[in-house]
């Protein structure tokens, strides 16, 4: 992908709040060894390990069978058996995945900011309470306090207690950043949380900016 190349998901937001949803697809096993290229069969087997129940009843026998499952995991997914080269490209969406034997990214933007959970959604969504303006949504860090809409100290003290806890899931992350509270009932004024970007490279990745 050269300068001017752009991939923008038609999906603006994604927001998983269900514990029963499988973790996002990981194309490489933790035990994978360095090689010049990814192995076709290994990719298929890795998928079947993580998603033993076929999507739409389709048995996973060819790479084409992965597309349905990848689409339900990611809004944009780039898979290269050898090297992926992105130069001056922009990829934007709620869930972006990159999988390759090696990668070179130059002057390239992978953008999922504000593509996660919208206002008032997410497992760490911002909180609304009485005279407190909506608090920020949590994700890898704790959401910030909302503004204080009262001069009464006891009201202010209550507002400072309403921060939702952070949630961390390491490499198995499947929850987007939560949205901030609207602060006004049924008025989505809070900001959206961030999406998910997962990059898996077998050998090495070169990042540079001119």
Q: pLDDT tens-digit profile of 29-84?
A: 888 899 999 999 999 999 998 888 766 677 888 998 888 888 889 999 999 999 99
* Per-block mean pLDDT, blocks of 10 residues, the chain (210 long): 90 91 87 91 91 76 87 93 95 96 95 94 83 80 78 79 72 82 71 93 88
Give the largest Cα separation in the chain, rounded. 66
Prediction pTM value: 0.87
How many domains does the structure of the chain reveal? Answer: 2
DSSP strand E in the chain: where?
6-8, 76-87, 90-92, 95-106, 109-111, 196-201, 205-208
Do 187 and 94 belong to one domain?
no
Whole-number pLDDT of residue 171 = 55
Q: Is residue 1 part of a domain?
A: no
Together in a domain, 94 and 157: no
Same domain, 78 and 88: yes
Residues 44 and 122 in one domain: no
Confirm whether 73 is domain-assigned: yes
The residue range of the domain holding 21 is: 6-115+195-208
Average pLDDT, the chain: 86
Residues 122 and 138 occupy one common structural domain: yes
Angstrom CA distances, 145 to 8, 104, 181, stand at 33, 40, 10
104 and 201 housed in the same domain = yes
Q: Please check whether residues 128 and 202 belong to one and the same domain.
A: no
Please check whether residues 133 and 41 belong to one and the same domain: no
The answer on 81 and 139 residing in a single domain is no
């Amino acid at each position: 992908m050269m300068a001017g190349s752009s991939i923008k998901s038609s999906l603006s937001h994604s927001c998983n709040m269900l514990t029963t949803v499988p973790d996002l697809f990981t194309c490489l096993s933790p035990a994978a060894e360095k090689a010049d290229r990814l192995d076709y069969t290994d990719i298929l087997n890795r998928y079947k390990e993580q998603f033993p129940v076929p999507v739409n009843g389709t048995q996973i026998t060819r790479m084409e069978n992965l597309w349905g499952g990848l689409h339900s995991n990611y809004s944009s997914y780039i898979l290269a058996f050898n090297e992926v080269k992105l130069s001056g490209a922009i990829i934007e969406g709620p869930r972006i995945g990159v999988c390759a034997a090696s990668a070179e990214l130059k002057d390239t933007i992978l953008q999922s900011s504000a593509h996660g959970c919208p206002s008032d959604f997410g497992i760490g969504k911002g909180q609304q309470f009485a005279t407190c303006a909506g608090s920020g949504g949590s994700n890898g860090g704790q959401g910030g306090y909302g503004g204080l809409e009262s001069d009464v100290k006891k009201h202010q003290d209550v507002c400072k207690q309403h921060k939702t806890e952070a949630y961390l899931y390491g490499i198995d992350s499947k929850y987007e950043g939560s949205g901030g509270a609207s602060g006004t009932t049924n008025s989505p004024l809070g900001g959206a949380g961030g999406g998910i970007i997962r990059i898996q490279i077998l050998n090495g990745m070169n990042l540079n900016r001119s």
